Amino acid sequence: MKRQQSLALDDADDLQARARELTAYWIGRAREITGASPRRLPVPEVRFDLRGRAAGQAVFARRTRRCHVRLNAALLASHPKEMLAETVPHEVAHVAIYRLYGRRAKPHGAEWKALMQAFGVDASPCHALPAQPTRQLKRYRYACGCDEPAWLTSIRHKRARAGTAYICRVCGVRLTYAEPDAPG
């Protein structure tokens, strides 16, 4: 573990190589803890293509049962210690639990929490790193049975205009678009 601390944390390539090394390390620890074989618990591919607020994501292919980990390169560069110490084992634990238990285990369920505890890492389901969304969506006003308007993002607004029905979570009435006032 001493060698882990010695790598420079300022170069993006070094950080990505470090994240890959730690992924292999945590998979090895998961094998030791669970008794799984390298065939049952292979080292997943690590990709750095995640954007937005998410720090990491474990991706599972149902048919092939192949897994990979996606990490947010911007957050890795801005918060390397937290990403390497918390996010990498978090996502590796997801991969390990999926490979060992399949879909019957909940994402942040008892098996995942037990593995995180065995790793000695906090089992928080979400990170607390400051992250900016990749895009700001425009919001559109909709009316329902409530006194307050409901707001749909541009994505859902476009779907509603194409015929998708959205129901208010509070009153249960179908949302209708509240046309903006015409300029007078």
Q: Give the model confidence (pLDDT) of 30-74 as tens digits.
A: 999 999 999 999 999 999 999 888 899 999 987 777 899 999 999
Tokens read off for 27: 């998979």
Strands 67-72 and 139-143, bridge-based pairing: unpaired
> Which of 21, 82, 91, 111 is the catalytic position?
91
Tell me what the mean pLDDT of segment 127-151 comes to.
82
What order of strands is seen across the sheet that includes strand 139-143?
150-153, 139-143, 176-177
Q: How many residues does the chain have?
A: 184
Cα separation, 174 vs 73, in Å, equals 40
Sequence-separated (6 or more) residues with CB below 8 Å from residue 89: 22, 26, 116, 119, 121
Tokens read off for 163: 């015929």
Q: Give the model confidence (pLDDT) of 86-131 as tens digits.
A: 999 999 999 999 999 988 899 899 999 999 999 999 988 887 777 6
Instruction: Pick the closest to residue 76 from 16, 30, 153, 147 (CA basis).
Output: 16
The answer on pLDDT for 5 being more than 60 is no
Global pTM reads: 0.68
In the annotation, is 91 catalytic?
Answer: yes
Phi-psi region at 52: left, alpha or beta (left = phi > 0; alpha = psi -120 to 50): left
